[in-house]
Amino acid sequence: MAWLKAALRVSLLALATATHAVADEQSVLLVAHPDVSTPRLTRDTTRAIFAMRQRTWPDGQAARVFVLPNDHPLHARFVKESLAVYPHQLQLAWDRMVFSGTGQAPTRVATQAEMREQIATTPGALGYLDREYLDDRVQVIAMD
């Protein structure tokens, strides 16, 4: 009977850990200006847009990318979990484009409140926010 209780405790702990991990992943959301007509993006397309290799939405509208500072915890979490790269890899891609004259880095904002404001007021804007910063001025973009 003791082994059954121990097994149950381990199972509940594993379930709680998995549930917490899923909740954490879902707390960083891809958000866009409300007029963006693309409701979902693949990970590859999202990565290309954030790496500034793709400069338009799938429907052709110009994409304006906003990011938090590299040392911001939400930026690190978004880049690792949603884009499957490290922040320094993304920064390196931006630096290469800027220094070679072939592109530009995304617009950096200092806070999530500023991110929300910029996305809400910039046509074609794309960024990311914690769930708690969402409001009706931005739309969530699903990611496959």
Q: What CATH number is associated with residue 88?
A: 3.40.190.10
Does 2 map to a domain? no
Give the whole-angstrom CA distance, residue 14 versus residue 8: 10
Cα torsion angle, 111, 114, 118, 119, sign? positive
Q: What is the pLDDT of residue 9?
A: 54
CA angle 117, 21, 31 (to 5 degrees): 20
Does 106 map to a domain? yes
Show the DSSP H helices in the chain as ranges: 2-27, 43-50, 73-78, 87-100, 112-121
Q: What is the pLDDT of residue 1?
A: 58
Q: What is the pLDDT of residue 109?
A: 98
Cα torsion angle, 116, 133, 129, 141, sign? negative
Q: Give the closest residue to 141 by CA, choosing from 70, 82, 75.
A: 82
Does 13 map to a domain? no
Give the residues of the chain that fall short of pLDDT 70. Answer: 1-26
How many separate domains does the chain show? Answer: 1
Does 136 map to a domain? yes
Does 11 map to a domain? no
Give the whole-angstrom CA distance, residue 47 versus residue 144: 12
Does 20 map to a domain? no
> Range of 99's domain?
27-143
DSSP 61: P
Does 109 map to a domain? yes
